[in-house]
Structure 1
């Protein structure tokens, strides 16, 4: 039985490399357009990511948030401090381990996430409205494939 070498692999073909580059660039451009649709213009992407993580996954310690967002603890501490000063999150001592602090969303923080999500969905809905049914079907299939790729 012969083994396929890296040079024989479809993953190394120039067409696949071009497709990967094109997909990367299109994804980044779309993500940039979506990120521009936000409820608070002064909020950084990292700050919004923390609010979104708290919305989806519930309260966390700063260390858990740092791990989830793949940033250093000092960087997360700066982000958490800024969000707390803005009234978007609260810190409460852990009931079991008083050395730990739990981070949770305030109503204002939840409202920022909801409004940003609404704006982003509305912008994308408007963009999709200008496409044909066939183009929207292609994007629906692409979304499924992209979810699978991202899960790997």
Structure 2
């Protein structure tokens, strides 16, 4: 009878697989998680204007990087920046109609891409993957809440 692997052994294997997963991502996939696309999708999900600082916190990028991203998006007509009505010192970023349409196009494209991937996994594996990812999110959020409360 074979011994079950330890959690340390499983952790090492998972970390190797995650490195492999990152290596298998195409540049388009990687770029969609940061930069202009990530900013558009963040604003779309928020549904309300956000400050450049909030966008930077969400993307974990510097204020200089956010400024460059916003300048590019503004030049493309996808976002607007305006002073906040509540605090004239603060700037709020909003999607334009073209920005909302682009975010929806990206969302539809992502959904199709992920659906193709899930179909390759098959129904059983896709269902298990979703269950495990959901459970992982719950565990990590609970841990973060506990660690935040302990500070």
Structure-1-length-normalised TM-score: 0.74
2:105 aligned residue: 115
Give 1:127 shift.
2.5
Could you say what secondary structure the match of 1:91 adopts? strand
Q: Is the 1:50–1:65 Cα contact (8 Å) retained in structure 2?
A: yes
Give 1:140 shift.
2.4
Give 1:51 shift.
0.9
Alpha-carbon distance change, 31 to 54 in structure 1, aligned in 2, over 3 angstroms: farther
1:25 aligned residue: 20
1:5 aligned residue: none
Selected match of 1:46 from 26, 35, 43: 35
Question: C-alpha distance in 1, partners of 2:24/2:44?
Answer: 23
Q: CA RMSD in A?
A: 2.7
Alpha-carbon distance change, 36 to 118 in structure 1, aligned in 2, over 3 angstroms: farther
Give 1:103 shift.
0.5
2:148 aligned residue: none
Question: C-alpha distance in 1, partners of 2:24/2:139?
Answer: 17
Q: Is the 1:92–1:102 Cα contact (8 Å) retained in structure 2?
A: yes
Q: Is the 1:37–1:116 Cα contact (8 Å) retained in structure 2?
A: no
Higher normalized contact order (CA 8 Å, seq sep 6+, divided by chain length): 1
Greater percentage in helix:
2
Aligned residues: 136
Alpha-carbon distance change, 35 to 134 in structure 1, aligned in 2, over 3 angstroms: same
Give 1:87 shift.
0.4
Q: Is the 1:59–1:103 Cα contact (8 Å) retained in structure 2?
A: yes
* Deviation sequence 1:64-99 (CA, Å, 0-9, x none): 222222111111111111110110001111123222
Give 1:25 shift.
3.0
Give 1:138 shift.
2.0
* Deviation sequence 1:44-77 (CA, Å, 0-9, x none): 8411111111111221111222222211111111
